[in-house]
Amino acid sequence: MSQVTFDMEPAPPYDFALTAGYVTHFEPRYAAESFEEGVYRRLLDLDGLLALAEVRSAGGPGAPRVAVTLWGEGLDAAAAELARAQLALLLGTEDDVRPFYEMARADDALAPLVDALYGLHVPQAASVYEALTLSIVGQQISAQVARMLRGLIIETFGRRAEFDGKSFYAFPRPDAVAAASIDDLRALKLSQRKAEYVLGVAKRVASGELDLEGLRGLPAAEVVERLTAIRGVGPWTAHWLLISALGERDGFPSGDLALQRTMGALVGGGAPMAAAECLAYSEQWSPHRSYVTTYLFASTRAGRVRQSPPS
């Protein structure tokens, strides 16, 4: 077992606990990740090498620094750089929230969110494939059921490693899921349609037919057009991927029911807002709507803004 350590310096202001907590939905464990006693952990797949990343805060919001320890077999400088790049996405360390803050502090609705969640950055998935798979699984079901299904997929198809007697799982590679059958996925409680969608995406990515990483850097409208051409991917999933995987600063999944309820509680007088209303209202927050979305979701996950009940 080898060990590699390095530090990362996130763009300030950065609150490690808030950002890592958002990743795990403010639960000790969520899907492939955990955040317990101030330590974020995830098993990384570094081009075939498995490494457990343990990340701790080593600074404050104004002068942030995080300390990373990697555990695994055969780790070297190249693996450390791959880990650094993945963790930068997973923990949003290169995200610059300052332009968003300048806008939000002048907005009566957003200013309290910035104060309550000061230093929260926008995390992204380690790969577009991961974000797309999890988004498909989470469509039109409760957060609790989505969490269960995501965990089952990861533990069934992901590679496993043990550290100090505990099992950790990396997010499954496309070829591992592509080798499964519809019945295998149905056994994990996925619906017939979702099993077809998840398997279809995995097979196309594994074969090289679908290049999801090639979406990075493309205009948002083109990304949405390409994504919605994939079976099982609608506008909600496409707009959510802009935020959760592609670094788009102005994504806004107005069709999200939780977002509609939160918007209603925040600016709609209490009643849930329709998708068109949400989208129209959000125009005043452009080009920072990915941050608004993240802060709204974080506020409900952390219990800092109560959602209005469904109409």
Burial readout 135-158 (b: 16 or more C-beta within 10 A, e: otherwise): bbbbbeeeeeebbbbbbbbbebbb
CA angle 42, 43, 45 (to 5 degrees): 130
Burial readout 49-82 (b: 16 or more C-beta within 10 A, e: otherwise): bbbbbebebebebeebbbebbbbbeebeeebbeb
The answer for 219, left when phi > 0, alpha when psi is -120 to 50, beta otherwise, is: beta
If 0-12 CB within 10 Å is exposed, 13-18 middle and 19+ buried, where does residue 13 land? middle
If 0-12 CB within 10 Å is exposed, 13-18 middle and 19+ buried, where does residue 116 land? middle
If 0-12 CB within 10 Å is exposed, 13-18 middle and 19+ buried, where does residue 209 land? exposed
CA angle 270, 271, 277 (to 5 degrees): 110
Is the Cβ–Cβ distance between 184 and 215 less than 8 Å?
A: no
| Residue 76 a catalytic site member | no
Chain-centre distance of CA 184, in angstroms? 25
Which of 15, 45, 95, 256 is an active site residue?
A: 256
Phi, psi of 32 (to 5 degrees): -90, 0
Is the Cβ–Cβ distance between 185 and 156 less than 8 Å?
A: no
Tokens 């009566």 belong to residue: 108
Reference 129, options 70, 216, 4, 220; nearest CA is 216
Instruction: Write out the catalytic residue numbers.
Output: 256
